């Protein structure tokens, strides 16, 4: 009924995708397909249905489009934690010699390396002291 507009019309990409999704199981059946390949085509069939849920598709596209911003914000937070860890480690290093053995052991446990200091700061911000205790 649509003839040439099937490949040229407004929804030509979806029409091509539908054709591929419908033809692939026939090819797989003819070749006695591998089990893990059929999972891929099940996912493709679900994606085929998603075109009817335009608001859901729009939300999904917007979430995927905001991933770059999420990466930058995560990097900035990581930089803040790193800078704060260095700052606290400097203070711990200055106070370390004047403390007794027990306090020095606790200082080493929580601020021995930069990653331990970052974890200690994350625990203090999020109320996660019970992670260790």
**Whole-prediction pTM:** 0.51
For residue 125, give both structure tokens. 């911000």
Cβ atoms of 12 and 4 closer than 8 Å: no
Give the range with max mean pLDDT: 44-53, 68-77, 94-103, 107-116: 68-77
CB-based contacts of 46, cutoff 8 Å, min separation 6:
none
Place of tokens 């019970």: 130
Query: Is it the case that residue 1 has pLDDT exceeding 60?
Result: no
Residue-wise pLDDT tens digits, 73-103: 999 999 999 999 999 888 888 888 888 888 8
């Amino acid at each position: 009924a649509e003839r040439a507009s099937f490949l040229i019309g407004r929804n030509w990409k979806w029409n091509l995708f539908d054709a591929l999704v419908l033809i692939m199981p026939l090819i797989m059946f003819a070749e006695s397909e591998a089990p893990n390949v059929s999972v891929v085509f099940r996912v493709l069939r679900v994606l085929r249905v998603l075109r009817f849920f335009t608001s859901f598709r729009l939300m999904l596209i917007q979430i995927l489009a905001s991933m770059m911003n999420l990466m930058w914000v995560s990097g900035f937070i990581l930089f803040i934690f790193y800078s704060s860890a260095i700052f606290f480690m400097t203070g711990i290093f200055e106070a370390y010699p004047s403390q007794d053995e027990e306090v020095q052991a606790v200082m080493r446990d929580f601020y021995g390396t930069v990653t331990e200091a970052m974890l200690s700061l994350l625990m203090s911000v999020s109320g996660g002291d019970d992670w260790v205790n």
